[in-house]
Structure 1
Amino acid sequence: MTAAETTRAKELLASLVSKPDATIDDYRELYEQVCATFELPADASVERIDAAGANALWVSAPGTSADTVAVVVHGGGFTMGSATGYRELGYRLSKSGNLRSLVVDYRLAPEAPFPAPVDDVVAAYRYARALDGVDNVFLVGDSAGGGLVMSALITLRDAGEQMPDAAVVLSPLVDLAGESPSLTDRAHLDPLPAAVLVSAMGGLYLNGLDVRHPVASPLHGDLAGLPPTYVLVGTDEGLHDDSIRLADKLEAAGVDVQLEVGEGLPHIWPIFAFHPEAVAATDRIGAFLRSHVTATR
């Protein structure tokens, strides 16, 4: 049975909007409190580094391969979240994918609006790609972090650079115009006021740019030429349709895309370490990433 764990996950999400008139600092504190409930195993290896100008953490499970890297991009509506809070997810991805996780502490809006967070993700990717002995690099992100992954992919493609070997996005926020019907149709299922958060936090991130900017709001961009992409989303979330629309557009652009919809599951459900479905999803993500490992040396 996962009903109790699903309820707990939804309660943790609800706690993010539990303070009336919360400030950005309040939101950041609440998000760190949620992430602190995900216990990092004692055998995790964690090292803080400068990844070509982007702050980041190396997170690895014991015995994992050094020649494969997943650049992990945390969620938090572009305004909150941290690499420290996502160490546990980085560990699970390391273990399931037989790789090292490079969890990016990208700069946050409103202090650092677009394109600063994308620049940091791209910098971390370039850092990982340039390391001696690294053959494969993936991008993995959830919510706003999933949106940043898609933005980074577009940026790298447009720059003519070597692309990541694959990407994984969990409940990605990819439409800052807020045009997904599920923002209202599924609002009664979601403990987060997704439509309001997309508008408010997305607005801080865009800092006056068009809500359909083709990089900042990647569902409105050109998705041709992107690497194989695995999209996961829950039925019980306002961003449900962002994922469905993204998968459809990727497929139409000729991208190899895999879509997984978690029945009865909430926003970013794979991050909730205590949930059996999250653990199972991590195993599937790891298998997907391993299937795209190719030796180049």
Structure 2
Amino acid sequence: WLQYVRCDGLPDPRIVTELNTFLHLWQQNKVADDNELDKKFIEVLPILEMLENILNNARQYTPRQISNYDEVRLALRAQLASAIEMASYSLLRNIEKNLVSESTKVSTYKREFKGMRLNIWVAIKWPTKKPRPVEHEPDPVELSFPSMKVSVKLPKIIDGSCVCVRAARSQIDLLSELSHSFALKFDMPKRYEDLFSFNVKELIESQRLKKLQDEARSKFYREVRERVRELENIIKTNIYLQNIKEKEELDVLNMAEAPYVSPPRVCIATECGKSFEHNLT
């Protein structure tokens, strides 16, 4: 109902056909400047957010519907990443108009969109001077983006007299899903388990582990006490012998401590980590 009364001309994220039409029209659009990028961020971010919510609560949908939602979500993200690339290229096509000249050799661009902050640093190449007989080693170029609190030092191998550096910080991650390790080999167990049920099970399991650890610790000290009494009786009954081995063993037992065992919650966290690693391999 909220989507219906919004009436903003955007597609309903729950209807895949509308999303495909929106994506097709976007791909046919030839305008690719920063103003168009700002418009697309305003339009696409709410759609992607709703698609993420649908996929995170996918029990009410069929596997085919989930696959369709995920496919169109990835297509929208890829198109948004392409729009960022094209807008950056469009800005560099006309440096004098789109960028601010910091000096005769450097121009910059910075703008904050809804969900992204974009900064561009460009070194303007001047006419080539007559080369010196002995060229000195160039100093590395250092630049900073104060609005993003980021500083960069370029390697000496990069020609700092003709280079462009782009820094972008996006609200959504457009790169991780392209990596080979992003997709899990196996489906995560208990994916849809709510937090309350998880905490209850964790409490029951931690109490069970604590009981087992207490029993093991009590058994250890009980065996130590029995062995100490046995050695003391041996020493008392053989007062005319030195009983060197027995006394050494008795000293060790008097200083004995139960083997260290991790707290129950640490054990549970370790097992959960191992289980999650199994889904990655």
TM-score over 0.5 (shorter chain): no
TM-score, structure 2 normalization: 0.21
Q: Give the structure with the larger helix fraction.
A: 2
**Higher RCO, Cα 8 Å, sep 6+:** 1
Q: Give the structure with the larger strand fraction.
A: 1
Asked which structure has the greater CA Rg, the reply is 2
TM-score, structure 1 normalization: 0.20
